[in-house]
Structure 1
Amino acid sequence: MNWTYLIIIFAATLGGGLIPMLSRKINPNYSIYLLAFTGAFLFGITILHLLPEVYHELGGHFAGIYILAGFFLQVFLQQFSHGMEHGHTHLPGEQHTHIAVTPLVLGLSVHAFMEGIPLGFHYEDKTALPSLVAGIAFHKVPEALTLMTVMMHGHLQKKKLWRILIIFACVTPASAIIAHQLGADSQWVQHSLLYIVAMVIGAFLHISTTIFYESGTKHHELSTRKVLSIALGIGLAILTLIFE
């Protein structure tokens, strides 16, 4: 297990969550373009690295079934997280200031736990793991930013905000460690992780494609800057192939 990778993901999550805590006025356009870039990069990494690995190991039909299952599992999870994985804030109105913290954090934490499982898997493609780490780390920044923005509108004490952020930042690294340790002790577990990786691919496809069409833009249009952000993310994902 490469601890540097886990530290990078922890730091990215912590950094994203600190942005709204330290800066009360954030230009909403920044998060739109950041989401578009991170969503495109994650989409590219999923298609270029994870998908070929899973299809090669499981075969087309089995891989496809689990990818579909992961896609719709993510649809179910966002009923609790309200789409914070892809930048939806759903802040309460002036007359409805209550935020149900537990289901929001729980839904997003289950997603974060799923994200960590592929980090504990052993890939034949040597560039898959570092590329995936970069994709998840980029994605963690707007994800944590959105989470803490919503939590702050719940008028929580600063101590509780810090506790939520730190626990959330630990979920994905902890999941990666668990998956790695279980896989190292058993070949059966290592093979079983393939099915979970396939489900995570489905979740990534749902999140990244939703970001393309939504991510806060009016009428879900593709502005020039958003297209450029997407192109930059895809281009960077393609560049990871040169290290194979």
Structure 2
Amino acid sequence: MSDYLFPFLAVVLGVIIARFTKSSKSWNTKLLLSFSGAFLLALTLFELLPEVYNHLEAKSTGLFIMGGILLQIILELFSKGAEHGHVHIHKNSTAFPWLLFISLCIHSFLEGFSIHKHNDMVYGVLVHKIPIAIIISLFLFKAKYGKLQIALFLLVFACMTPLGTLISHTWQVLAHIGHILNAMVIGIFLHISTTILFESSDGHKFNMSKFIAIILGVSVAFLI
């Protein structure tokens, strides 16, 4: 049950935090992003990558991982980097951000395929989603969208990862390509997590707080 519940609750928690804060700076989102990026990257390397390499031929695995990286690059053409903490859409726009919505939903849906009972990726997705949900919620609350539009956006976004997990667990037709999909998700996670780690620095200067957050993220991922 936690495989389905935790990703949903991560978005709910992010929305609640955003609702009671006026700015992402109030929660030092950059440090939270650094921790989540390191945690997600470490779990991907510790859990998901060895599993995929055990079931697929090495060169093919690399090809599918690269496919995931390229897919995420394409998604970010439309989401403008919302998956790693950036929303570059004008707040005064009244047009519903369909491209942002669809690309985020695709990203979240694919995340769900990495979550299995025999790995801990649900925690990586959980920690990754909280700061992203905060940033997206802050943007939506400040934008001139209707309350129903905002509610539906966040509800569907919250449901997409559990939906991906459900389909990966129940659709037998996907059993034969499950490891291929996981390899592509690895590529997505590698792109997202490394981008978070690089972009959370100001002017690429050494930041002790960020460094500690990264060490903590890796350490927690190793210990769970």
- State the partner residue of 1:138: 127
- State the partner residue of 1:205: 190
Inter-CA distance 64–226: structure 2 relative to 1 (3 Å threshold): same
1: CA distance, partners of 2:153 / 2:90: 19
Q: Does 1:228 align with 2:212?
A: yes
**CA shift digits 1:193-232 (9 cap, x unpaired):** 11010000000000000011103x4224341101110110
Contact 1:13–1:144 (8 Å) recurs in 2: yes
Inter-CA distance 161–111: structure 2 relative to 1 (3 Å threshold): same
Structure 2 counterparts to residues 1-244 of structure 1, below 5 A: 3-27=1-25, 30-92=28-90, 97-98=92-93, 101-119=97-115, 126=118, 128=119, 131-183=120-172, 186=173, 189-215=174-200, 217-240=201-224
2: CA distance, partners of 1:106 / 1:150: 16
Inter-CA distance 84–221: structure 2 relative to 1 (3 Å threshold): farther
Report the CA distance between 1:21 and its aligned residue: 2.2
Report the CA distance between 1:4 and its aligned residue: 2.3
Structure 1 unmatched ranges of 5 or more: none
Inter-CA distance 29–145: structure 2 relative to 1 (3 Å threshold): closer
Report the CA distance between 1:18 and its aligned residue: 2.4
1: CA distance, partners of 2:206 / 2:54: 34
SS in structure 1 of the partner of residue 86 of structure 2: coil
The RMSD of aligned alpha carbons is 1.8
SS in structure 2 of the partner of residue 219 of structure 1: coil
TM-score normalised over the length of structure 2? 0.93
2: CA distance, partners of 1:148 / 1:220: 27
Report the CA distance between 1:91 and its aligned residue: 5.0
**CA shift digits 1:144-173 (9 cap, x unpaired):** 112212222321122322221111101110
Contact 1:213–1:222 (8 Å) recurs in 2: no
Percent pairwise identity: 35
Inter-CA distance 57–41: structure 2 relative to 1 (3 Å threshold): same
2: CA distance, partners of 1:12 / 1:71: 24
Report the CA distance between 1:100 and its aligned residue: 5.2
Contact 1:89–1:149 (8 Å) recurs in 2: no
Contact 2:84–2:196 (8 Å) recurs in 1: yes
TM-score normalised over the length of structure 1? 0.86
Contact 2:31–2:210 (8 Å) recurs in 1: yes
> Which deviates more, 156-165 or 10-19?
156-165
SS in structure 1 of the partner of residue 177 of structure 2: helix
2: CA distance, partners of 1:39 / 1:32: 10
2: CA distance, partners of 1:34 / 1:170: 23
Structure 2 unmatched ranges of 5 or more: none
